[in-house]
Chains A and B, each alone.
Chain A
């Protein structure tokens, strides 16, 4: 396999990447849907309050939900149209969330670029305010509000900003396309991030299977002091926050701590571009690149989709079903959420829509653990996934914590490599929820 032999971390797995399905497809604008469903809560943190009510006219980029809470991010309308309803819908995880449903006008005006202060003159506070105003969240999937990350505590200064360009999830190519098509914007965004936290350097961490993107990024950073590109081994989960920090800087974030603990800040390349767009033309985060791919689709591709677009529309844009679709996933195949029907809508953290066929899914009945230790060897956090699963089955939460349940970030390496087909991740999730409840009391 190409892209091996570079710097990497201990643990992890090497799933086939299948990126060739969509990596050569340039980003195209997805058709504007007749109706968008925009969940008010697309991030980790406090829920937003709707700012519009049914019957209101909204414009592209107009703020439609906000809250006073610090750990939160506002949402914006992705279309010009009329609010039809503010109602409860089921989001991609299956949870019930409040959403604004907007009927889009037949004619969609282009986004009117606002007059902004020159990007080079923005202060740290202004950048943070822009990140908040633009509704920016981590676009790699976790969707943590960006301005919160850009506000490190005073006693823990950040000296290194890492731009996560690994895209280690198989199938996904949205970040790869961004890097190929807009390397300059990525680097501009990175400069803003570096300035916002007062860091000394910014490093773009990228997997070695995207050497074409590396060339473009290297050219873009060559004239920028303090910025660099680090080429890393192709291994999953290379793009996990803690793993990326350790590979690039050699620093290890202690269990239960955040990257700020070791003076690092990690942001996704998509977030970097979004920050630059907000800072340069005042465009909030209301559309994003989504990879719509998989052997169950006729013509996979990368689409610039409005937030709130139902995924059924993206599937149509990708040529519709092909072969024998067996599983529909929002996100990547290792951490994404399976969908029963293509009804959920694209949110800020949606990186992909994936349709797998039966030969790739390979679902089997769970066998008793044979203690082969492959999950222990694969775990990038050095936990004992099989013992966590066993403890969860017996509802022994203390033991689940002893074997590391709280350090699990659900990358799925354990289940991927398990010969007994044990769904460790679902057990670990259960244990984590129970332990969180236990800690509260």
Chain B
């Protein structure tokens, strides 16, 4: 058999099996599954609807935006699905679904596609959307967290406005479109807002305790096991440390993420909280630290690529989270800390020099060699095509 002409290509002629963008995204989705299941157990169908609407809106936004911008469709790389799930994980299960849709649109449409699509975005899309909603008039919808096992479903159009005045003993009344009043959502303070409000020392809290004392201490704050397994108030995906840790193991095993970033975050955070002795374990297990350290800060696009860069970025995020939690009016700072360091990522990659093989005494700063500016050089002879 005479073979015809073969294709020409530059070496290497092999590619690592299964090393694709889809596979990376799939691995993160697999890793998020345990946390998603816990969310549906703890918060019921609300959690499922929030995730569903978030993913659908994210995908729809990607398709429409790329069509409008005249770009190739990339739904197959699953990054929109992942952004949808991650964004849902940052919301209270009782978020009105239209608010979820607005946020998912901001995540994919603005934070990703307007910046140039996957690979060009500066901010982690899900975190960007979450913080954008926080500073918008919709902030109230996403800062009231339901109690665990509060199962009453909130529909798509249900609440149009929230009257903060109606909050009595942890009850938020959602007002409907035409003055109708919808079922109450029983909210509870998150562990970190308890910490921030100084209620850690209180002996009792008012209001009903829906679950037994396994989950809530007499003082009304979640027990260690409640925090570890996820039976406390908080956003969808952040509550269960166990579920997130299982997912993190998968990501580290698959080498989808680099261990240096979470190591830097946890190391720096623990250092500060241990030195200041501000409920270190309670603070470590509460809030979005685990979700942030393993699933948000490690986002390929928005984290540095060199080893030095990863350490700087990780430690920086850990310190910033500790600073915000300890000395700012905000109870929680994971999202803001990561977004801050997202901005610095490009600078880190550009200026922080990594020593080359065999190089000693390289400075920490990358310097440009003194050559003419782009496009000025003409080669003496043409470069071979192959």
Binding site for B on A (CB under 8 A): 13, 15-16, 93-95, 170, 242, 246, 252-255, 257, 320-321, 325-329, 331, 333-342, 354, 356, 360-364, 367-374, 376-377, 380-384, 386-387, 394-399, 401-402, 404, 407, 410, 412-413, 415-421, 423, 425-426, 429-430, 433-434, 437-438, 440
- Min distance, Cβ A65 to any Cβ of chain B, angstroms: 22
| Residue contact A368 to B118, C-beta cutoff 8 Å | yes
Assess A373 versus B13: contact at CB under 8 Å? Given A340-B6, A395-B374: no
| Residue contact A418 to B19, C-beta cutoff 8 Å | yes
| Residue contact A412 to B11, C-beta cutoff 8 Å | yes
Which residues of the partner chain B approach A386 to less than 8 Å between Cβ atoms? 305
| Residue contact A376 to B21, C-beta cutoff 8 Å | no
Which residues of the partner chain B approach A418 to less than 8 Å between Cβ atoms? 15, 19
| Residue contact B358 to A412, C-beta cutoff 8 Å | no
| Residue contact B11 to A410, C-beta cutoff 8 Å | yes
> Contact check: which of A334, A420, A430 meets B13 at CB < 8 Å?
A334
Complex A-B, nearest 7 residue pairs according to Cβ-Cβ distance, in ascending order: A412-B12, A373-B305, A252-B358, A426-B10, A398-B371, A372-B300, A368-B119
Q: Does B137 contact A (CB under 8 A)?
A: no
| Residue contact B357 to A321, C-beta cutoff 8 Å | no
Q: What sequence of 0s and 1s flags, for each residue 343-386 of chain B, a beta carbon within 8 Å of any chain A beta carbon?
A: 00000010000111111100000111111111101111001111
> Contact check: which of A320, A368, A410 meets B117 at CB < 8 Å?
A368
Which residues of the partner chain B approach A95 to less than 8 Å between Cβ atoms? 384
Assess A437 versus B377: contact at CB under 8 Å? Given A373-B258, A399-B368: yes
> Contact check: which of A328, A376, A404, A410 meets B6 at CB < 8 Å?
A328
| Residue contact B386 to A402, C-beta cutoff 8 Å | no
Instruction: Return the chain A residue nearest B1 by Cβ.
Output: A321
| Residue contact B369 to A327, C-beta cutoff 8 Å | no
- Min distance, Cβ A264 to any Cβ of chain B, angstroms: 12
Which residues of the partner chain A approach B375 to less than 8 Å between Cβ atoms? 395-396
| Residue contact A419 to B24, C-beta cutoff 8 Å | yes
> Contact check: which of B6, B12, B358 meets A333 at CB < 8 Å?
B12
Which residues of the partner chain A approach B370 to less than 8 Å between Cβ atoms? 398
Binding site for A on B (CB under 8 A): 1-3, 5-17, 19-21, 23-24, 77, 116-120, 258, 300-306, 310, 349, 354-360, 366-375, 377-380, 383-386
Which residues of the partner chain A approach B386 to less than 8 Å between Cβ atoms? 93-94, 337-338
A-B contact pairs, 30 of them (CB 8 A): A93-B384, A170-B14, A252-B357, A255-B356, A320-B1, A321-B3, A325-B3, A328-B3, A328-B6, A329-B13, A333-B13, A338-B386, A340-B6, A362-B15, A371-B301, A371-B303, A372-B24, A381-B357, A383-B356, A387-B349, A398-B368, A398-B370, A410-B11, A412-B11, A412-B12, A415-B15, A416-B16, A421-B15, A430-B383, A434-B377
Docked pose: A360 CA to B77 CA in angstroms? 21
Which residues of the partner chain A approach B117 to less than 8 Å between Cβ atoms? 368
Which residues of the partner chain B approach A333 to less than 8 Å between Cβ atoms? 11-14
Instruction: Return the chain B residue nearest A415 by Cβ.
Output: B12
- Min distance, Cβ A183 to any Cβ of chain B, angstroms: 30
| Residue contact B359 to A334, C-beta cutoff 8 Å | no
| Residue contact A402 to B367, C-beta cutoff 8 Å | yes
Most chain B CB atoms below 10 A, which of A15, A338, A360: A338
Known: A377-B258, A416-B12. 7 other contacts (CB 8 A): A242-B358, A339-B8, A367-B21, A371-B302, A419-B19, A434-B377, A438-B377
Most chain B CB atoms below 10 A, which of A327, A382, A413: A382
Instruction: Return the chain A residue nearest B120 by Cβ.
Output: A368
| Residue contact A434 to B379, C-beta cutoff 8 Å | yes
Docked pose: A423 CA to B15 CA in angstroms? 11
> Contact check: which of A331, A396, A426, A437 meets B380 at CB < 8 Å?
A437
Which residues of the partner chain B approach A335 to less than 8 Å between Cβ atoms? 11-12
Docked pose: A10 CA to B6 CA in angstroms? 35
- Min distance, Cβ B350 to any Cβ of chain A, angstroms: 8
Which residues of the partner chain B approach A320 to less than 8 Å between Cβ atoms? 1
Which residues of the partner chain B approach A387 to less than 8 Å between Cβ atoms? 349
| Residue contact B368 to A433, C-beta cutoff 8 Å | no
- Min distance, Cβ A332 to any Cβ of chain B, angstroms: 8
| Residue contact A338 to B366, C-beta cutoff 8 Å | no
Docked pose: A370 CA to B14 CA in angstroms? 20
- Min distance, Cβ A86 to any Cβ of chain B, angstroms: 23
Which residues of the partner chain A approach B9 to less than 8 Å between Cβ atoms? 327, 338, 363, 423
Assess A336 versus B377: contact at CB under 8 Å? Given A95-B384, A321-B3, A374-B19: no
- Min distance, Cβ B23 to any Cβ of chain A, angstroms: 7
- Min distance, Cβ A253 to any Cβ of chain B, angstroms: 5
| Residue contact B119 to A367, C-beta cutoff 8 Å | yes
Most chain B CB atoms below 10 A, which of A329, A356, A419, A426: A419
| Residue contact B369 to A407, C-beta cutoff 8 Å | no
Which residues of the partner chain A approach B303 to less than 8 Å between Cβ atoms? 371, 373
Docked pose: A370 CA to B19 CA in angstroms? 13
Which residues of the partner chain A approach B2 to less than 8 Å between Cβ atoms? 321
Docked pose: A369 CA to B21 CA in angstroms? 10
| Residue contact B367 to A254, C-beta cutoff 8 Å | no
Docked pose: A183 CA to B3 CA in angstroms? 38
> Contact check: which of B11, B16, B383 meets A336 at CB < 8 Å?
B11
Docked pose: A341 CA to B7 CA in angstroms? 9
Docked pose: A253 CA to B360 CA in angstroms? 11
Docked pose: A420 CA to B120 CA in angstroms? 13
Instruction: Return the chain B residue nearest A421 by Cβ.
Output: B15
| Residue contact B7 to A326, C-beta cutoff 8 Å | yes
Docked pose: A372 CA to B374 CA in angstroms? 26
- Min distance, Cβ A378 to any Cβ of chain B, angstroms: 9
> Contact check: which of B1, B16, B360 meets A417 at CB < 8 Å?
B16
- Min distance, Cβ B261 to any Cβ of chain A, angstroms: 10
Assess A338 versus B7: contact at CB under 8 Å? Given A380-B357, A419-B20, A440-B380: yes
